[in-house]
Amino acid sequence: MAEVITLARPYAQALFSLAKETAALNKWSDYLDFLQSVANDDNFRSMIGAPDIKLDDIESIFLTICRDQVPEEACNFMQLLVRNGRLSVLSDVVRQYEALKAEDEGVVSADIQSAFELDDAQVKKIADIFSKKLDKRISPSVTIDPSLIGGVKVHVGDKVWDASVRGRLQHMAVTLTN
């Protein structure tokens, strides 16, 4: 996994620099979204997965599909990925680009795990708390984890805040056994 991230990082950083320099961060998000949807299309994948296909053929197919949809710079980026045999890291490039963009905009992702479904007001309240705590805008995503029993567990970057019943029970068990 670390290898793919390492391979994708220079591409993501180069795209981010280009997009930042040209004040087109959101446009590049759209371009990358389109390129990724093409690369993930089942028909496209079956074509490029054929045993007799060459890199030049893959490049040609991609350019034929994308030429009218994205600017030349985005087509050049795809040519570079294909020629370097790095088409498989495209989704990681997109992920890292979006992370760089979010960081530049002062937004951090927060994964909120809850034992039960949260309504929008609850999610907003949790996001507001962490926004003030971290002095950043929060982009929350919610996952349901019934094993938490109750409460929430919030991951922001490499930090974790555990306010779940399971977490409290585990803490109590450690305290009692020591």
Q: Specify the fold of 2-102.
A: Peroxidase; domain 1 (1.10.520)
Q: What sign results for the dihedral spanned by CA atoms 111, 115, 120, 121?
A: negative
The pLDDT of residue 17: 96
First to last CA, the chain: 37
HEC secondary structure over 53-100: CCHHHHHHHHHHHHCCCCCHHHHHHHHHHHHCCCHHHHHHHHHHHHHH
Amino acid, single-letter form, for residue 118: L
What percentage of residues in the chain have a pLDDT greater than 90?
71
pLDDT bracket for residue 47 (50, 70, 90): confident
Question: Domain locations in the chain?
Answer: 2-102, 107-177
- What confidence score (pLDDT) does residue 2 get? 55
**What's this model's pTM, rounded to 2 decimal places?**
0.70
> How many angstroms separate the CA atoms of 170 and 176, rounded?
10
116: Cβ contacts below 8 Å, ≥ 6 apart: 144, 150
